[in-house]
Chains A and B, each alone.
Chain A
């Protein structure tokens, strides 16, 4: 009797362990706006694929989201399908063996043929694709057109970095308000690089961080120029330093000061027109399309300015997915126009499919439609394994600047020392 009971228990346990989720694909999503966007299209994906989908809510801040995801993936218990905040993290996940090669599925989907060239370029690494790009994040400078115009400050595109900082100083003198924000410090997480450092670096004298042999050129002129620009901002007191040192540094400047006209220029992405200050915001700016304007990121030497483009939360399949084939099928279905429109409506990013912009849903987002013209000027910065460490080092270097503990050269040295210490000196040029 005892033996029978034990055999039954073991059989039940093994059945449960292998098949409990076999008919369901679990998708990880975080932040309410993104969860709402996904939930809106889940029934359509289920109908299209015949596979049940369970949406699992993860922590909101990107840093906590990635930590939880990594812990679970390492333990082999992660979600079947998940996304990463930007293209920058993909290489660290793929080389760790967490991702499934989905080249055939993505290239075989309707989405691939209709994607903007930059989306295809960012998705493919050495001929291999690990992600289904669905949204593009386009970043540049956003400014309070209404406040600057009223104060008599020019709203023309700044020609170079000097023109930008001088514009910020003039705006502060005329309005008395903080005039320029760029994410800095450790607590902003990956945003310090993705929404700030990268924009300037791509428009510096040496716009790349990764060398041909996969090491990091952190002693370059470009890196120094970016830290010097940060130092000028801090010395000119145009940037609100205090909020950047707090645990949630984006809340006060982005969600309170900018809508109130107490901050006049900031780097941001297309999502700011919808999520941060637009219809999905808790603190919307009235008549946002006229009140807030955009500048491309100027070049340090006055060359052509550009916007920065990267994949925003591209979707991928976990190598420990319970049913990899079902997950791939779901991933292919996630390249739909409906999903991209849903995310554009809720979070404000741009669809990676050119044909998605013709949809009625997207055409209603009148603040986003004009931004698509700038995609052709879009640039990106290449990454390599170990890039997460570089991003953390940039956070530490810029935090030392904020605290007045280092000048630009000191901040660059902090970055070099941090990355050398973690990845080894042979990884740093």
Chain B
């Protein structure tokens, strides 16, 4: 009885929608046209089509690079550095703390609109005004370097969360360990490599689990900035699902992509959960 409320919520908001998505992925359901009125059961046709759809594979590759550089490398490294930096006492500490955490308080669409103005082409774009001081011609940031730009924006958005998590991990490491290391003549780098990093591993894996899955599912930030363009250059798989379901109105096909993405996320999640049991 104690788990019944949780079980009901889990069924209503996770299992039932997943079941509907799996069933829909086996139909030709569309939002418009005759297939909206009379959808047909088509078995695994959508999956067969999916595996030969080069746009889908391209979107998976884009998603991989996006997650790797923004969540796994960018946010993690900068989040960890920020946490280490802000652990020390210095005059502007609260100021830096606020700067790093502020992007988390801004809604995704608002952040995207802000960056849209920052990265605008032509002489009116804020970034172009900045680089003009150094004699650089105006750039088409979201056209020439679209994926790099959304990676930068997403790193900016996510450092705060990484920092908070890393900070909690660092706080759990006893100062006595560092003191003992110092007495044994360990350098700062050796202390970081032999004490901080190994003891942070569970926190790092927890962060990677959360950030990987949430970054794969990012939508609003990219949709508002580039709509997945230009020419699909930033069409991560979440945007591809939206474009198939609400741009081309193919709900059945969009559901098939969503189901495949669910499977990928489960595999990644399982990998991280197993890794979390690592002995330090």
- Scoring A245, A399, A403 by chain B CB atoms within 10 A of each residue's CB, the highest score goes to A245
In the bound complex, residues from chain A placing their C-beta under 8 Å from that of B226 are 247
Which of A112-120, A165-173, A356-364, A385-393 lies at the binding interface? A385-393
Q: Once bound together, how far apart are the Cα atoms of A163 and B169, in whole Å?
A: 70
In the bound complex, residues from chain B placing their C-beta under 8 Å from that of A295 are none
In the bound complex, residues from chain B placing their C-beta under 8 Å from that of A399 are 229-231
Which of A93-101, A132-140, A145-153, A220-228 lies at the binding interface? A93-101
In the bound complex, residues from chain B placing their C-beta under 8 Å from that of A405 are 231
What's the minimum C-beta distance from A400 to chain B, rounded to whole angstroms? Answer: 6
Given A96-B34, A245-B143, A246-B120: A186 touches B227 (CB 8 Å cut-off)? yes
Given A242-B122, A403-B231: A97 touches B143 (CB 8 Å cut-off)? no
Which of B67-75, B157-165, B242-250, B257-265 lies at the binding interface? B242-250
Given A388-B249, A392-B247: A186 touches B229 (CB 8 Å cut-off)? yes
In the bound complex, residues from chain B placing their C-beta under 8 Å from that of A396 are 231
Say yes or no: B230 contacts A245, CB within 8 Å: yes
What's the minimum C-beta distance from A404 to chain B, rounded to whole angstroms? Answer: 10
B227 in complex: contacting residue of A70, A93, A187, A388, CB < 8 Å: A187
Given A70-B246, A422-B248: A388 touches B225 (CB 8 Å cut-off)? no
Q: Once bound together, how far apart are the Cα atoms of A63 and B116, in whole Å?
A: 19
In the bound complex, residues from chain B placing their C-beta under 8 Å from that of A338 are none
In the bound complex, residues from chain A placing their C-beta under 8 Å from that of B190 are none
Say yes or no: B231 contacts A70, CB within 8 Å: no
Instruction: Say yes or no for B177: interface residue by CB 8 A criterion.
Output: no
A389 in complex: contacting residue of B34, B230, B248, CB < 8 Å: B248
Say yes or no: B37 contacts A96, CB within 8 Å: yes
Q: Once bound together, how far apart are the Cα atoms of A389 and B143, in whole Å?
A: 25
Report whether over half of chain B's contact residues are helix, strand or loop; otherwise say mixed. loop
Say yes or no: B247 contacts A247, CB within 8 Å: no
Q: Which of B199-220 contact A (CB under 8 A)?
A: none
In the bound complex, residues from chain B placing their C-beta under 8 Å from that of A96 are 30-34, 36-37
What's the minimum C-beta distance from A90 to chain B, rounded to whole angstroms? Answer: 11
In the bound complex, residues from chain B placing their C-beta under 8 Å from that of A49 are none
Instruction: Say yes or no for A213: interface residue by CB 8 A criterion.
Output: no
Given A67-B246, A246-B142, A389-B248: A92 touches B33 (CB 8 Å cut-off)? yes
Say yes or no: B33 contacts A385, CB within 8 Å: yes
Q: Which of A390-422 contact B (CB under 8 A)?
A: 392, 396, 399-400, 402-403, 405, 421-422
Q: Which of A63-83 contact B (CB under 8 A)?
A: 63, 67, 70-71, 74
- B residues with a Cβ closer than 8 A to A are 30-34, 36-37, 49, 53, 55, 116, 120-122, 140, 142-143, 224-227, 229-231, 246-250, 253
| In the complex, the 4 A-B pairs of residues with the closest C-beta atoms, listed nearest first | A96-B36, A92-B32, A97-B37, A242-B121
25 contacts between A and B (CB under 8 A): A70-B31, A74-B36, A93-B32, A96-B32, A96-B33, A96-B37, A185-B229, A186-B227, A242-B121, A242-B122, A245-B230, A246-B142, A247-B224, A385-B32, A385-B33, A386-B33, A388-B249, A389-B248, A396-B231, A399-B230, A399-B231, A400-B231, A402-B230, A421-B53, A421-B55
- A residues with a Cβ closer than 8 A to B are 63, 67, 70-71, 74, 89, 92-93, 95-98, 185-187, 242-243, 245-247, 385-386, 388-389, 392, 396, 399-400, 402-403, 405, 421-422
